[in-house]
Chain A
């Protein structure tokens, strides 16, 4: 589904990603872990098309198409979804307000019929239950005055509405208490199908108790320095990142 080859990216002249290679197949869940500043969120942002980042080398192929050539909205319509680490507040725009346009743009792109107001509402009600989100919240200005948990649930709600092929969760667990974490993970798990894939960017192993990954990759200084099964995450939890750093440093000498 997704092939990342030798991806290099920089922001304001600083190279953050220094040659990422990654292969993701349908049905898989990949966890990207790593110490602060290793480039995890940059990878998520580059995949979603954030303009501040400049890709200097490498390629990303998504379902046979060159992802890096596409504008952010084209990526979304092709089926890439980014759950934001810091969902933005937009005064005067409610979730319901923009999401119907968004959903219908995506449906049109996929050759599906547009949802009218009634159908949209019924789909919305169904998906709201997934993340236990209140309709009142969705009619309020987006994320304005939402709690941390409400913001993240709203992200997963939008993911449910847009039915992406590839979901990228950028530190969706950060700052969540255990109840919120359970609700969010539960939503993600229910949305998983054999045709879709998920990239979970996280700092904490805790999330992976709920969203069980098929692969765990450790990012350090802009490269994947170690890959393994979910046991790798447990090892990291126990031993920290220092041994990975040492291994990586000695390998590069």
Chain B
């Protein structure tokens, strides 16, 4: 694809999204960036395995914004999993819906981005980082900013539930900005529901500030429709002695790209990244993770696992950057894949750049088939082949599932994973 095509898409999107009067500066800069750089071309290293611009060109027929779909309390309630008691934030094609949301009176503050300008927005996920961040900056229409004050322990999780539907393949641009101040603790859960099977492009940006000694968990389920094209840019600034843990479980979609960046900005902080992708059909999921160790005595742990059937494709790119100052860094990374079909593909690439000399860093990746010997062993004990397969795959996936900190959400995701392992594999 030429520059003309990639700019064509960016220009079309920009042309069809009306100017809004807030966030003028960031929008202006982002537009200028996009008009210059365009969306990623297929040969660009960062998007080498995930030709998202080409996909958009083929699938998306209307590059305008998706307007809110018909959504009511009944539809919403169907998607609230059993055992959930916390706060519920509903987004309809990326637009925050106050009348469908629910609050339990927990102590944090909350802004709707289109009503009240969030001055810090765009300071963590910077425009020039990724063209899709710039695109989100230039075009987002709604979203929320959440502020958890100093020393606040938010006991029940905050569930961000997104409903997507674009009948002509329009664009959905969700935006989140979260600040968790010193010593505060909070858990976020996220799920996206496709209301029908029509294609759409969801281009989301999430920014999280985890201030000194704060602790944040963020678990995300991706089980969108087979036609959904999704790009998520998720970036966190993690300050001194703070911890941030991300779990991303991907089950479906057409093409999904997750950019996850953890900036470990000071000593004593910890960043954990866990991921599971369970793919079949032609689903393509690309997890690009990036952890930046800037100061001494910080730790990062990463475990991504994939099970791929049919013609699905998984991409894992794990970058660990250890700057010269970041002595005594501990950074661990692991990516394991099981291919269940000859037509399934995995591209995995650890990318370690280490400039400090007194660090412990390890990485490993494996890709293989289901262990035939283990399968035979279980059969020889009386388990049917399918049952034995399911058990082995579930055991493989379980190591990631157990990292989801919220019990009810873990249970909810586990059931989805078990359903998948019991049926289409």
Query: Which residues of A come within 8 Å of B, CB atoms?
Result: 48-51, 71-73, 75-77, 81-82, 84, 87-88, 90-93, 97-99, 101-103, 105-106, 109, 158, 162
A-B contact pairs, 29 of them (CB 8 A): A48-B380, A51-B372, A71-B379, A72-B376, A72-B380, A73-B380, A73-B388, A76-B379, A76-B380, A77-B382, A81-B380, A84-B377, A88-B371, A90-B374, A90-B377, A90-B395, A91-B399, A92-B395, A92-B398, A97-B391, A101-B383, A101-B391, A102-B378, A102-B382, A102-B383, A103-B382, A109-B382, A158-B381, A162-B382
In the complex, which residues 67-126 of chain B have their Cβ closer than 8 Å to any Cβ of chain A? none
Query: Majority SS of interface residues in chain B?
Result: helix
Total cross-chain contacts (CB, 8 A):
73
Find chain B residues with CB under 8 A from A92 CB.
Answer: 394-396, 398-399
CB distance from A71 to the nearest CB of B (A): 7
Name B residues whose Cβ lies closer than 8 Å to a Cβ of A: 371-374, 376-385, 387-388, 391-392, 394-396, 398-399
Cβ-closest chain A residue relative to B393: A92
Distance in angstroms from B394 CB to nearest chain A CB is 8
Contacts of A105 in B (CB 8 A): 382-384
User: Which A-chain residue is minimally distant from B394 (CB atoms)?
Assistant: A92
> Within the complex, what minimum Cβ distance (angstroms) separates B306 from chain A?
15
Q: Do B381 and A98 have beta carbons less than 8 Å apart?
A: yes
Given contacts A84-B377, A88-B373, contact A93 B382 (CB under 8 A): no
**A71 close to B381 (CB less than 8 A):** no
Min distance, Cβ A65 to any Cβ of chain B, angstroms:
16
Known: A48-B380, A49-B380, A88-B373. A73 touches B395 (CB 8 A): no
Chain B residues with CB below 8 A from A50, complex form: 376
Q: Please classify the interface of chain A as helix (H, G, I), strand (E, B), loop, or mixed, using the class held by over half of its residues.
A: helix
**B372 to A: closest C-beta gap in Å:** 8
Contact status A91-B395, CB under 8 Å:
yes
Cα A103 to Cα B382 in complex, Å, equals 8
Given A72-B376, A92-B396, 9 more A-B residue pairs with CB atoms under 8 Å apart are: A49-B379, A71-B385, A73-B379, A76-B382, A77-B382, A84-B380, A91-B396, A103-B382, A106-B382
> Closest approach, in angstroms, between the C-beta of A157 and any C-beta of chain B?
12
Inter-chain contacts of B372 with A (CB < 8 A): 51
CA distance A123 to B392 in the complex (A): 25
Least CB distance from A140 to B in Å reads 13
Taking the closest CB of chain B, its distance from the CB of A167, in whole angstroms, is 12
Given contacts A92-B396, A92-B399, contact A162 B381 (CB under 8 A): yes
